[in-house]
A and B are shown apart, each in its own frame.
Chain A
Amino acid sequence: MKRIPDQLIRLSVPFLFIILALLIIKQFVTPETFGDLGHYRAAAIEDISSIEPHYAGFQACLDCHEDIMEVQQGSYHRNISCEVCHEPSLEHVNDPTEHLPPAPRERGFCPLCHNYLDARPTGFPQIITMTHNPGKPCINCHDPHDPTPPHVPGDCAACHRQIARTKMVSHHVDIQCTECHDTPEEHMINPRLSRAMKPADREFCGGCHAEDAQKSVTNLRIDIDTHGGVYVCWECHYPHLPEAPEGGAPE
């Protein structure tokens, strides 16, 4: 058998020493719970779980404030958790008199939700903050726990502002929303459940736009039976702005 070269024997000494040292160090340095549940320190879950919350949650308020809750449950704000407006309140739950949750009273707060934005879904009540009773605090007229407006909104624009704005620059500006959309009273209170109607057939638009229509003054007349082939009117013409190119108006 060939002798192992002297170099290799000499080299193996520092190599083995280092490898051994690293293995020993590894035992000391690796945290105890590492690898218990996976390739991570299992104790981390306890660390994270033991963080104290700051928000108490909807349920916690119910225990002491049922009177306010009862009022709110029947109102438009029934789905809003108390802490949305009253800040994180777990401290208050634990020690009611020591930590009092703030109540936002300034005019700048409510518009965070209710200011008009194009991107907000249609039907969500929005106001143009600048023109809606400028200067007055919202709570003067709207109880936050039952924010029913002091009088029923006169026109649909209160909730359907984007449509109203669009219609304002069109020829249909003078047409009331209710002329085309049959709207029950209930819709003002429960909009999603009691919906307004939409016209169902071409003859409806024909009431103004057919060749022989008596109702309107427009001279935009078409043959109601053949114009547009198989499509109903609003598949090409946007009724709230029929002039716009994307509203399908002729060039």
Chain B
Amino acid sequence: MKKGLKRREFIKKTAIALPLLSPAGIMLTDLVRTSCAWAGTGEVSGYNPLDHYYGMGIHIDRCIGCGRCAEGCKKENLVPREPFFFRTWVERYTIFSNREETEVDSPNGGINGFPELKTQQNILRAFFVPKLCNHCDNPPCVQVCPVGATFKTQDGVILVDNEYCVGCRYCIQACPYGARFLNPLTATADKCTFCYHRLVRGLRPVCVEVCPTQARVFGEIGTRSSPLVRFRRMNKISVLKSDLNTEPKVYYANLDGEVR
């Protein structure tokens, strides 16, 4: 293991130093620092949930709508591939300049990319919005579960107990964001778990891992150093449906008012 550690150290130092010499330093050092913070051994032992409190940040102006996040999530979490069940998905908003209705679409969650729009004229602005469970701090889904099958962990992640859920679907009705669905294979409620099984091993959620433009930022709330802390310092933050007071922990930078 020592050889591997030494090699890793060397690569780390070189990887940080080289690009610092060029003006392209910022994004690269972000990536390496992030991945070193998550340089997990892949083992679960030694994880203390009380040391963490997770959230996610999303740069709207970096998302290119490639759908790698949605696809990666399905592959990691074995979500059925049919276009009716998504733990995360990407929506495209097209705003027109002539007061026409904003068009929104999400074909297969964005996994196969997006088709060209029928109306090319008068496009004022268009952008992509990745969506997922917001892991609210005041979660309406946890409030309404009749049996206690869904809950908030000590590290702020909302999870579903597949062995206990009765499949009444009340939580799916209560979620304002459409983040939940009934898994047809387990007949229980299902949703994004922030890849909790990866978090306990020091790995990042897959959607964050595979995003090619680093539009998704994962980290801790309430610590002094975390990519998410920087995200929240440098950007004006919005959350979805803030009037419902669910206190979401997925923060959007440069979110447009047309997004619901």
Task: Pick from B117-125, B132-140, B179-187, B241-249 the stretch touching chain A.
Answer: B117-125
Whether B230 sits at the interface, judged by CB under 8 Å, is: no
Q: Which residues of A contact B153 (CB under 8 A)?
A: 45
| A37 CA to B44 CA, complexed, in Å | 19
| A34 CA to B151 CA, complexed, in Å | 12
Whether A133 sits at the interface, judged by CB under 8 Å, is: no
Tell me, rounded to whole Å, the shortest Cβ–Cβ distance linking B249 to chain A.
Answer: 18
Contact B11 A57 (CB under 8 A): no
Dominant SS among interface residues on chain A: loop
Q: Which residues of B contact A95 (CB under 8 A)?
A: none
Q: Which residues of A contact B94 (CB under 8 A)?
A: 118-119
Whether B148 sits at the interface, judged by CB under 8 Å, is: yes
A49, A70, A88, A119: which has the most chain B beta carbons within 10 Å? A119
Contact A112 B213 (CB under 8 A): no
Given known A-B contacts A57-B40, A58-B35, A124-B64, A49 and B200 have beta carbons under 8 A apart: yes
Contact B113 A112 (CB under 8 A): yes
Contact B61 A79 (CB under 8 A): no
User: Of B23, B27, B161, which contacts A47 at CB under 8 A?
Assistant: B161
| A124 CA to B200 CA, complexed, in Å | 35
Residue on A with the closest CB to B65?
A119
| A77 CA to B22 CA, complexed, in Å | 16
Interface string of B180-197 (1 = CB under 8 A from A): 000000000000010111
B interface, size bucket: 35 or more
Contact A57 B209 (CB under 8 A): yes
Contact B114 A53 (CB under 8 A): no
A39, A55, A88: which has the most chain B beta carbons within 10 Å? A55
Q: Which residues of A contact B47 (CB under 8 A)?
A: 49
The size of the chain A interface, using a CB distance under 8 A, is 55
Contact B210 A73 (CB under 8 A): no
Contact B149 A40 (CB under 8 A): yes
| A51 CA to B206 CA, complexed, in Å | 14
Whether B80 sits at the interface, judged by CB under 8 Å, is: no
Can you list the 4 inter-chain pairs with the closest CB atoms, starting with the nearest? A119-B126, A44-B161, A40-B151, A51-B197
Chain B interface (Cβ < 8 Å from any Cβ of A): 4, 7-8, 11, 14-15, 18-19, 22-24, 26-28, 31, 35-36, 38-40, 42, 44, 47, 49, 61-68, 72, 75-76, 92-94, 97-98, 113-114, 116-117, 120, 122-124, 126-128, 148-154, 159, 161-164, 193, 195-198, 200-201, 203-204, 206, 209-210, 212-214
Chain A interface (Cβ < 8 Å from any Cβ of B): 31, 34, 37-41, 44-45, 47-55, 57-59, 62-63, 66, 69-70, 73-74, 77-81, 83-84, 87-88, 111-113, 115, 117-121, 124, 186, 190, 192-194, 244-246
**Assuming A62-B11, A121-B127, what are 20 further A-B pairs, CB within 8 angstroms?**
A37-B154, A45-B153, A48-B196, A53-B197, A55-B206, A57-B38, A59-B36, A63-B8, A73-B15, A79-B212, A80-B212, A81-B212, A111-B113, A112-B66, A118-B120, A119-B92, A119-B126, A120-B128, A193-B23, A246-B98
